[in-house]
Structure 1
Amino acid sequence: MTGVPADRPTVTGQDASRPWVTCLFAVTDTPVPDGVLAVTPGHDGGGPLRILEAGPLRLVVQDVPVAAFGEEALARRLDRPDELERCARAHHRAVETAAREGAAVPLPMATLYLDDHNAVRAVTAREAPLRTLLDRLRDRSEWAVKVYCAGPARTSGAASGVAGDGGPADGRSYLSRVSTRRRTEREARETALARAHAVDRELRRYAVAATRHRPQSEQLTGRSVPQLLNAAYLVDDGRRADFLEAVRRPALADGTAVEITLSGPWIPYSFARLDEVACDAREEVRA
């Protein structure tokens, strides 16, 4: 995700004496109560979450130790899955705290500045696009929709060289069955993929923006069938019921065996991109 670039701290030279750097989690234009921030855990070893004022914008930040968040130390930590997960959870908690109060732009994890002044200066320089993005996200949520083939993606009978009736197969009939089965599987997949695209087109009618992510592998999904669509939709909270009804409607409407899964509402990470503010016309899919 693209956000405000970070001034990466180091632990050498003049920065070696600086014990703390400023970690920026999110930008909002809505007040966040101090009491709420005080009870929200940030990164381990850091100070309490707090707000920095940057004109009309508010930055959710935390003082974190250079010893753990200097460039080299952080790179080593994020190479460890347990540390990566711990940092990601802390980042999300802080973003979620801001988002509960109003529109918030989540920044990339480990967006670090040498001090508060540098953080405020970087955000102030991008005030206009950040305010546009906040307006875009206000009173809207992200919903994730994934579409899968509903049945097995492949069969193994033909490939095994065994005839359909259990008897041995001669070479010509075996090749014919393999060819037929491959063609049938290909046609079924193409039909299911077309159905997934149709689902996407329908859901875009109820969203203000949508994006497709790369389909996840079967190893990641834990399913033995391919994922045909991995999409996210930015939906007005006022149209939530319409969107949810639309998700339920098209699943097997034309007899195509596809399975649709829905999750959300989420913080709109997929749409909190400064580089997309300038190309809203391509992203907007207004009904």
Structure 2
Amino acid sequence: MLYTYAIIADYEPRQAESLIRIGILPDAPPRCYRHGTLAAVASEVPASEFGPEALPARLSDAEWTRDRVLAHEAVVTDLLQAATVLPMKFCTLFSGEPALFAALDDHGDRLLAAVARCRSAREWGVKLFFDPERAEQADAATVSLSAGAGAAFFRRKQEARAKSQADETRLAECVADVHEALARRARDAVLNPPQPPAIHRRRGRMVLNAAYLVGTDEEIGWHAAIENMTERCARDGLGCELTGPWGPYNFVGGGLVGA
């Protein structure tokens, strides 16, 4: 079986393979399977671990799955140094080279279009978290600057429902402004569903979970846009988490489906 990490273009096979530190398994080194101008980076893996009868039980093992996910991401990250990379989903598997090459033939045009979109670009993630306590502190600091602010502040506290509605409107406007400013400086942007607290394990409510495809020659301006939004985010009780750079997982058009 072939465990497939990514489809790559604009690469030199030996250089790409030499950069990879470890594969999905310690004894399963990744190699390039060339097919036209593209190549699939894959490892031969045993059916005893990745076959359809064995894999569900493996995936129910949280430690095994975590280690394999990290190994998959490490290969993709290593490849970014040497090629244009289209990351595949975790556990994209093919029965062998014929099935892999058939999939490359079937999806060739779509893959080449994704290569053109992702060339010389990396994915960055931005998550915004709303903390009501932080927002209330910002409000208190603002109103305390004017005469009679204390009384006004407590009146607003008594009008909880109206204030909640106004806060939600302001919050939505702030999040939309942040996303628009970042998307404007990116090649492409994707809004993913916000994660629940059990997954993100951060204080507050996630209100933005976005990915941005940013050209490497545009990253300075894109990061400057984040800094420009920091003050407003803090004023509206928002904390920001930046992740990346990643392979463009959100921009590959679905990748390949194993066979």
Task: Return the TM-score normalized by structure 1.
Answer: 0.74
8 A contact 1:196–1:228 mirrored in 2: yes
Question: Relative CO higher for 1 or 2, CA cutoff 8 Å, sep ≥ 6?
Answer: 2
- Say which of 249, 252, 258 aligns to 1:269: 249
The alignment partner of 1:251 has SS state of helix
Measure how far apart 1:246 and its partner are: 0.5
> Equivalents in 1 of 2:16, 2:107: separation in Å?
28
Judging changes above 3 Å, is the alpha-carbon distance between structure 1 residues 241 and 51 closer, same or farther for their aligned structure 2 residues?
A: same
Who is 1:192 aligned against? 171
**Letter of the structure 2 residue corresponding to residue 50 of structure 1:** R
Measure how far apart 1:97 and its partner are: 2.7
User: Could you list the per-position Cα deviations for residues 147-178 of structure 1 after superposition, in whole angstroms to 9, with x for gaps in the alignment?
Assistant: 222542899xxxxxxxxxxxxxxxxxxxx999
Who is 1:22 aligned against? 2
User: Could you list the per-position Cα deviations for residues 98-139 of structure 1 after superposition, in whole angstroms to 9, with x for gaps in the alignment?
Assistant: 222111111111111111122112112221211111111111
Judging changes above 3 Å, is the alpha-carbon distance between structure 1 residues 35 and 258 closer, same or farther for their aligned structure 2 residues?
A: closer
User: Could you list the per-position Cα deviations for residues 12-68 of structure 1 after superposition, in whole angstroms to 9, with x for gaps in the alignment?
Assistant: xxxxxxxxx112111112123268448632122653211111122111111101111
Superposed, 1:78-97 pairs within 5 Å as 78-97=59-78
Is residue 2:32 matched to residue 1:51? Answer: yes
**Letter of the structure 2 residue corresponding to residue 259 of structure 1:** G
Who is 2:49 aligned against? 68
RMSD: 2.6
8 A contact 1:45–1:65 mirrored in 2: no
8 A contact 1:46–1:65 mirrored in 2: no
The alignment partner of 1:152 has SS state of helix
The alignment partner of 2:127 has SS state of strand
Greater gyration radius: 1
> Equivalents in 2 of 1:119, 1:240: separation in Å?
34
8 A contact 1:37–1:48 mirrored in 2: no
> Equivalents in 2 of 1:253, 1:45: separation in Å?
47
Superposed, 1:150-161 pairs within 5 Å as 150-152=131-133
How many residue pairs are counted as aligned between the two chains? Answer: 235
Unaligned runs of 5+ in 1: 1-20, 156-175, 276-287
> Equivalents in 1 of 2:243, 2:232: separation in Å?
21
Unaligned runs of 5+ in 2: 137-154
More moved, 73-82 vs 41-50: 41-50
Who is 1:6 aligned against? none
Who is 2:236 aligned against? 256
Is residue 2:153 matched to residue 1:137? Answer: no
Measure how far apart 1:242 and its partner are: 0.5
Who is 1:42 aligned against? 23
Quote the sequence identity (%): 23
- Say which of 103, 107, 130 aligns to 1:126: 107
> Equivalents in 2 of 1:39, 1:25: separation in Å?
11
Is residue 2:185 matched to residue 1:206? Answer: yes
8 A contact 1:207–1:235 mirrored in 2: yes
Kindly report structure 1 stretches of 4+ aligned residues shifted beyond 3 Å: 34-39, 176-179, 253-257
8 A contact 1:31–1:58 mirrored in 2: no
Judging changes above 3 Å, is the alpha-carbon distance between structure 1 residues 34 and 208 closer, same or farther for their aligned structure 2 residues?
A: closer
More helix by share: 2
**Letter of the structure 1 residue corresponding to residue 55 of structure 2:** L
User: Could you list the per-position Cα deviations for residues 204-246 of structure 1 after superposition, in whole angstroms to 9, with x for gaps in the alignment?
Assistant: 1101110111112233333332122111111111111100010
The alignment partner of 1:27 has SS state of strand
